[in-house]
A and B are shown apart, each in its own frame.
Chain A
Amino acid sequence: MCATCGCGHGEVRIEGVTHDTDHFKSFRPAAHAPDVSPARMVQIEQDILSKNNDLAGANRKYFSMRGIFALNMVSSPGSGKTTLLVRTITDLKGKLPVAVIEGDQETSNDAERIRATGAAAVQINTGRGCHLDAHMVMGALEQLKPAPASVLFIENVGNLVCPAAFDLGEAARVALFSVTEGEDKPLKYPDIFASADLVLINKIDLLPHLSYDMAKAEANVRRVNPRARIMTVSATSGEGLAEWYQWLSDPAARAAA
């Protein structure tokens, strides 16, 4: 019945974690309370996401104790998240320790692409689920054990709607969209862009073949999120990546607006 831990159909699978481990057991719903008295009203004022938020808080503590810089990478499918990560890991090899958590509904293709670069990666298959949540990330961390002071990329399921609501404990959220997707993506999916700290506009090497209005795209990002940093990049040609690498490796560069 649970899309979050996956007991039942469309199961969540984390590489190396079986369903008998404590990670999954701890999330099974508790037994029901015993029968009692007549109808009454109960005020609770509880955030539905409170459980996820608590677990995200625990992940955040895990990261800060180890000096890990965790990023939640969100985008639609096909905007180039994995290509960008493969390029980033290759270019930063020997300069910055990197680990990756890959989220997809099915297959471990993306984790394999990352592991081919030599970086550690764990795949989460969400099964029925359309997003990663803090509990899944916690399970993946047990397997991955990212090195202290590393950068951890958490590549969310390609989806511009659902991941917006789920804090994973990341230090920053990076939203990616590509120039083949249309300038109005931020207006169509405002929640995800409003929650981003950095917006990467990818595939700019294709601009000569498109009638893409970059100024309009950036203005649309600004409309939903005035504080996000915007960078234009091409994971294929490498254009614009120097700024992205500086942002990744230098906290001072991130602090500067």
Chain B
Amino acid sequence: MHEMSLCEGIISVLEAEAKKQNFARVKTVWLEVGPFSGAEPEAMKFCFDAVTRGTLAENARLEIVTPTGQGFCGTCMKTVTIAERYDPCPVCGAVLLQITGGEQLRIKELEVV
């Protein structure tokens, strides 16, 4: 259940940004959670509601964007889309792709007042 501390990480980023960019409340948070980030979007939503209580993001909406998992196939010499970290190349079947996308765990954008 490390989603709880990840959400606390979000709050601390928001608090730092609030000072820097001069806003008081956060209405919406757009979050990018990759399939290989180790975080579960549903658990993030659950924890977000819990940890935002009494903070500048109380009652804020959490919008989760899920980028696709991507790997570079050294045989095809191109980037392919994969569902699991250890999936083989969907084109040629080669294994051991270099993961190039899907590990994101990032706040993209905020709606603030």
Chain A residues near B (Cβ < 8 Å) = 1-4, 29-30, 32-52, 128-131, 133, 161-162, 164-166, 187, 190-191, 194, 222-224, 226
- Which of B10, B18, B24, B55 lies in contact with A48, CB distance below 8 A? B10
Interface size class of B (residues with CB under 8 A): 35 or more
C-alpha spacing A39/B37, complex, angstroms: 30
CB-based nearest B residue for A27: B12
Q: Are A45 and B108 in contact (CB under 8 A)?
A: yes
Query: Given the complex, which residues of A lie within 8 Å of B27, measured CB to CB?
Result: 39
Q: Are B2 and A38 in contact (CB under 8 A)?
A: no
Min C-beta distance of B18 to chain A, whole Å: 4
Q: Are A42 and B51 in contact (CB under 8 A)?
A: no
Q: With A37-B113, A42-B112 in contact, is A162–B2 under 8 Å at CB?
A: yes
Q: Are B105 and A49 in contact (CB under 8 A)?
A: yes
Q: With A30-B19, A33-B18, A223-B95 in contact, is A191–B106 under 8 Å at CB?
A: no
Query: Given the complex, which residues of B lie within 8 Å of A50, measured CB to CB?
Result: 9, 13
C-alpha spacing A40/B107, complex, angstroms: 16
CB-based nearest A residue for B44: A48
- Which of A37, A131, A165, A224 lies in contact with B86, CB distance below 8 A? A224
C-alpha spacing A194/B39, complex, angstroms: 15
Query: Given the complex, which residues of B lie within 8 Å of A30, measured CB to CB?
Result: 15-16, 19
Min C-beta distance of B70 to chain A, whole Å: 15
Q: Are B24 and A34 in contact (CB under 8 A)?
A: yes
Q: Please report the number of residue pairs spanning A and B whose Cβ atoms sit closer than 8 angstroms.
A: 131
Query: Given the complex, which residues of A lie within 8 Å of B2, measured CB to CB?
Result: 129-131, 161-162, 165-166
Q: Are B8 and A1 in contact (CB under 8 A)?
A: yes
C-alpha spacing A129/B1, complex, angstroms: 8
Min C-beta distance of A187 to chain B, whole Å: 7
Min C-beta distance of A240 to chain B, whole Å: 25
B63 sits at the interface (CB 8 A): no
CB-based nearest A residue for B17: A44
Q: Are B38 and A165 in contact (CB under 8 A)?
A: yes
CB-based nearest B residue for A224: B86
Q: Are B24 and A43 in contact (CB under 8 A)?
A: no
C-alpha spacing A85/B67, complex, angstroms: 40
Q: A161-B2, A165-B2, A223-B86 are in contact. List 15 more A-B contacts (CB 8 A).
A: A4-B5, A29-B55, A30-B19, A33-B18, A36-B24, A37-B113, A41-B110, A44-B107, A47-B105, A47-B106, A130-B2, A165-B6, A166-B2, A194-B36, A223-B95
CB-based nearest B residue for A223: B86
Q: Are B56 and A39 in contact (CB under 8 A)?
A: no
CB-based nearest A residue for B13: A46
